[in-house]
Structure 1
């Protein structure tokens, strides 16, 4: 992984933690998530116009990726209704590089060195500590929701990273995926929660635009990075966003963070640093 890719992914991590804090800090998590997804569309249209059409072989990846993003967004929204940012975010984000590494090693035949594998193992230990904390606090529902969210993250990361390589255009691939994602989400809400659509005018246009732009750019950078470096390594480095999320949770959202939780987050952060040193 080059330094350019490394710092680009770190920038993506900061943007990602920022828009997650926007959702968690909102009084209506469902409305904030829904408006953010819709706010992707204007930027995605620009991306479609500015990029070549993705290779036809990637169309199936666009479709599956969009569906996985909807699942991720719905479970993330539910997770933040039951748990703190400092609890949900590290669990969901930390789980994905572990799952992606396992899939990459077993099915994609990607080779990772000893330090990179050790990094993933350390991240896994940090996740286990977070899980233990959730169970002991009798907030098992938040853990389960965060765990499922992490599975969706791993799924769309693999699909999107592979699809972008096949597409031949990272921005074009993600732009089409974002538009389809918004259509699927709109259709889902129209059937299951039409009141949310009627509540859209209550959302601050400025907040939706800023968070939507941050969210879109954050993941567009990751998609591009997946065409430049191993998907498992990009995913692990991206989870440095956990550190940003903890800082935001503590100093912006004023969440109480225990020593146990801080130790778990520190292990995850250590694994992220090692993932860079090992490549």
Structure 2
């Protein structure tokens, strides 16, 4: 993996962990998801125009199919993730969702995209998997605290992560959809897909905008930015390298949840997250 790709993914990881931290505090459900997508659709218009002008890219109506497909998969991911945050800890839900997604992505990339990661890269992926399972701690403890629901939502979110990762990799590297345009289009699509639900809950929209508008704006800026950086890296980097490398954000998310939200098992979760960093190191060398 090139130094540029690694730099982009590390920057994306900080943005990603930060918006998840904000979303966990907000716990706004589907209305919150609609609000930040609607806000992002507006905020990123000048950035999309500027990017298209600088890169001299042109728009093709064929791109809309891939944007819409990405929008559907991202809506499923956001709704499942928000539900997981509603019933569970950030430092449990976030690592599990972000950890299972790349493992599925790597396997699918090898089987369906014909990628052939190096042995060292595969070892790094295994390290990341080990770190994720360590973050979960003793499964018996989660039975005691009734963590079956957050674990279920986190794993399902991981399946959607793998799905949109492969879909978007094909879009930006094979179809050549510009990364900024790709995710902006997907963001607009998400806002439209959730619009019927939002219109039925106008009072909740007003309430959340009044009480959580700073969180909405924060996520509206950081969420697209984090994924645009990832899409840019995926243009010239295999999924089997990008998907696991993104998970340095797990370390950041675990620290945030343990330190700032006073969630339990801080030492275990932070120690396990460092194993993920070892996996990242293998990926960067491999």
TM-score over 0.5 for the pair: yes
Matched, 1:172 2:181: yes
CA deviations 1:109-154 (Å, max 9, x no partner) are 0110001111112222233344563553221111110000011111
Match of 2:234 among 199, 220, 226: 226
Q: Which residue does the alignment assign to 1:274?
A: 282
Q: Mind listing any 5+ residue stretches in structure 1 that lack a counterpart? A: none
TM-score of the superposed pair, with normalisation by structure 2: 0.88
Matched, 1:61 2:66: yes
TM-score of the superposed pair, with normalisation by structure 1: 0.90
Q: Which residue does the alignment assign to 1:151?
A: 159
Q: Which residue does the alignment assign to 2:7?
A: 7
Tell me which moved more, 89-98 or 250-259: 250-259
Supply the RMSD in Å over aligned alpha carbons: 2.2
Q: Which residue does the alignment assign to 1:140?
A: 148
- SS state of the match for residue 237, structure 2? coil
Q: Is the contact made by 1:62 and 1:176 (CA closer than 8 Å) also made in structure 2?
A: yes
Q: Which residue does the alignment assign to 1:240?
A: 248
- SS state of the match for residue 109, structure 1? coil
Matched, 1:22 2:22: yes
Q: Is the contact made by 2:22 and 2:218 (CA closer than 8 Å) also made in structure 1?
A: no
- SS state of the match for residue 112, structure 1? coil
- SS state of the match for residue 167, structure 1? coil
State how far apart, in whole Å, the 2-side matches of 1:135 and 1:270 are: 27
Match of 1:94 among 82, 85, 99: 99
Q: Is the contact made by 1:119 and 1:274 (CA closer than 8 Å) also made in structure 2?
A: yes
Matched, 1:212 2:212: no
Q: Mind listing any 5+ residue stretches in structure 2 that lack a counterpart? A: none
Q: Which residue does the alignment assign to 1:160?
A: 168
Q: Which residue does the alignment assign to 2:132?
A: 127
**Cα separation, partners in 2 of 1:148 and 1:27, compared to 1, 3 Å:** closer
Q: Is the contact made by 1:79 and 1:146 (CA closer than 8 Å) also made in structure 2?
A: yes
Q: Is the contact made by 1:91 and 1:127 (CA closer than 8 Å) also made in structure 2?
A: yes
CA deviations 1:133-192 (Å, max 9, x no partner) are 35532211111100000111111111112112213411112211111111112234435x
State how far apart, in whole Å, the 2-side matches of 1:156 and 1:203 are: 31
- Cα drift, residue 48 of structure 1: 3.9
Q: Which residue does the alignment assign to 2:46?
A: 46
Match of 2:119 among 111, 114, 122: 114
- Cα drift, residue 108 of structure 1: 0.5
Aligned residues: 277
- Cα drift, residue 259 of structure 1: 4.4
State how far apart, in whole Å, the 2-side matches of 1:207 and 1:261 are: 25
CA deviations 1:2-28 (Å, max 9, x no partner) are 212211210110011001000111254
Tell me which moved more, 260-269 or 143-152: 260-269
Tell me which moved more, 220-229 or 53-62: 53-62
